[in-house]
Amino acid sequence: MTDLTRLTLADARDGLRAKRFTATELTKAHIAAIEKARALNAYLVETPELALAAAADSDARLARGEGRPLEGLPLGIKDLYCTKGVPTTAASRILEGFVPHYESTVSGQLWRDGAVMLGKLNLDEFAMGSSNETSAFGPVVSPWRRKGDDAKIVPGGSSGGSAAAVAAHLCLGATATDTGGSIRQPAAFTGTVGIKPTYGRCSRWGIVAFASSLDQAGPIARDVRDAAIMLRSMAGFDPKDSTSVDLPVPDYEKSVGASVKGKKIGIPREYRLDGMSQEIEALWRQGVEWLKDAGAEIVDISLPHTKHALPAYYIVAPAEASSNLARYDGVRYGLRKQGRDIVGMYENTRAAGFGAEVRRRIMIGAYVLSAGYYDAYYVRAQKIRTLIKRDFEIAFQAGVDAILTPATPSPAFAIGEKGSADPVEMYLNDVFTVTVNMAGLPGIVAPGGLASDGLPLGLQLIGRPFEEETLFSLASAIEKAAPAIELPQPWWA
């Protein structure tokens, strides 16, 4: 039998329905692949017994002809999603030993539709990072390597475990979250497809909060169709999340391969950065050509407040994080370090439980929210946020259907190569992705090809609110035109 881990989610679904193999066989193939790939450190928790029990149930349903939309398909879950009875750490020591007694709405919807959980995926601590190096449980290693070089490469972050697991065939698809780029940047770095849907499209309930006005769930998958299939199950109204939106969920898969003739694509001049690499420029121009060839119309647009997005994001996100993370006090969950009195216990717990990047964000957040600095930083950042949103609204009002940009300013880098001396070096990775979160818009990343060093590069499409279907059709046009990229040989197995 061919290696079942090589299938796309769509092919696996169709193969199960046609009874070419069983959910148990499919799940076992993935469990074996995960066991061989521990060097990648993609999974924090493996749940093979749960997976095999779910697969047996799926096989029984399939035999009765009662298969649900994702029946028997093995997935990985970012360890920011609470999973009932299965440890959930957010890759932080402070949550070590925490076992939720409830399931996040989004993962619950995947199980409702028949998917099988293989385990929990590594990430940057509390999803703060762009390389997966802030995880308290060690970095994730990308399955990709530079040409002629065996340096360990980052898979991006914060959903680095999700992206690496999908790229290395350790699951058919994975959940991820995106606050400033954490779905799209790792997808770009690993040659996978990731979509951050419109704010409110997926429920945030049961997902450990980072910056609640920016956080959004979404899938990372091997291709555009698989991402569309997963998003359909993940999206939907949830009365338990007051920011979730009550709109019907379309069958996104129908948009894959749909015509993009006459779609108006905006090219924002402000995304052409000083000193941007030739390679990224060339990829972007190539993306324009691919969409033109598919019948889209290209227009130049201006998003004048773009340059303020990154600094404003790095005020708003830490401000919300400092407030959200106040709950980790040693009383309610996970780690507790005794102190002389209760304040001493709080201080010892938080000092021991949070890593350096999380502490930095909490301090920045507390600072920008403090009396005296609130107006100068937080209020100003919120005003900039409004201006960024307005820039996009003006472009959409002028008839633009979607906006094409590079996904990242560079290909992936080696572990330890960036950000250790200056954290801003790491933050600059997010320059093309944070605007989308600030404006609450949907954004998709699809692979565009390989850089000269042999690592993948991605293109980003930004859409109108709740028009994910347009993004799926445009991303599939890019996917069709772009050269197919082959993963390096599995050196880790």
Among 5, 179, 405, 410, binds ligand GLN (CB under 6 A): 179
Q: Is 182 in the site for ligand GLN (CB under 6 A)?
A: yes
Residue 210 near ligand GLN by CB under 6 A: yes
SS3 268: strand
Q: What are phi and psi of 373, to 5 degrees?
A: -110, -15
Nearest Cα to Cα of residue 276 among 388, 406, 181: 406
Q: Please, which residue, 80 or 294, has the CB nearer to ligand GLN?
A: 80
Distance CA 371, CA 6 (A): 55
Burial environment of residue 65 by CB neighbours within 10 A (0 to 12, 13 to 18, 19 or more) = exposed
Between 253 and 320, CB nearer to ligand GLN: 320
Q: Report the C-alpha gap between 183 and 175 in whole angstroms.
A: 9
Sheet strands (E) in 2-65 = 43-46
* 162 in active site: no
Burial grade of 446 (CB within 10 A; 0-12, 13-18, 19 or more)? buried
Nearer to ligand GLN, 155 or 180 (CB): 180
Question: Which residue stretch of 13-21, 173-181, 231-239, 452-460 sits at the interface with ligand GLN (rule: CB under 6 A)?
Answer: 173-181
Question: Closest separation between CB of residue 406 and ligand GLN, Å?
Answer: 16
User: Which of these ranges, 174-182, 246-254, 376-384, 464-472, lies near ligand GLN under the rule CB under 6 A?
Assistant: 174-182
Smallest distance, ligand GLN to C-beta of residue 306, A: 17
| Catalytic residue flag (residue 182) | yes
List C-alpha distances in Å: 73 to 32, 279, 321, 340: 15, 37, 34, 51
Among 160, 161, 173, 181, binds ligand GLN (CB under 6 A): 181
DSSP string covering 307-345, please?
GGHHHHHHHHHHHHHHHHGGG-SSSSSS-----SSHHHH
Give the contact letters, 127-166, x = binds to ligand GLN (CB under 6 A), - = no.
Answer: xxxx---------------------------x--------
Whose CB is nearest to ligand GLN? 182
The CB-of-131 to ligand GLN minimum distance in angstroms stands at 9
Smallest gap from Cβ 158 to ligand GLN, in A, equals 4
| Residue 405 binding ligand GLN, by CB under 6 A | no
Marked catalytic residue, from 78, 120, 196, 263: 78
Q: Give me the helices (H) in 37-92, please.
A: 48-63
Q: Name the residue nearer to ligand GLN (CB basis): 12 or 128.
A: 128
Q: Which is nearer to ligand GLN, 178 or 401 (CB)?
A: 178
**Looking at 42-50, 176-184, 272-280, 471-479, which segment touches ligand GLN (CB under 6 A)?**
176-184
Strand bridging mode 402-406 / 456-463: antiparallel
State the Cα–Cα distance between residues 143 and 444, nearest whole angstrom: 22
Catalytic (active site) residue 322: no
Q: Which is nearer to ligand GLN, 29 or 208 (CB)?
A: 208
How far apart CA 94 and CA 97 sit, in angstroms, is 9
CB of 232 to ligand GLN, least distance (A): 22
CA proximity to 80, closest of 224, 197, 188, 218 = 218
Cα dihedral 8→10→12→16 (10° resolution): 180
46 vs 51: CA distance, rounded Å: 9
Give the interface segment with ligand GLN, choosing from 1-9, 123-131, 239-247, 411-419 (CB under 6 A): 123-131
- In 3D space, the residue among 2, 29, 16 whose CA is nearest the CA of residue 170 turns out to be 29
Q: Which is nearer to ligand GLN, 27 or 408 (CB)?
A: 408
Q: Which of residues 424-453 bind ligand GLN (CB under 6 A)?
A: 430
Catalytic option among 130, 159, 182, 255: 182
Q: Which residues bind ligand GLN (CB under 6 A)?
A: 127-130, 158, 178-182, 210, 317, 430
- What positions carry a catalytic annotation? 78, 158, 182
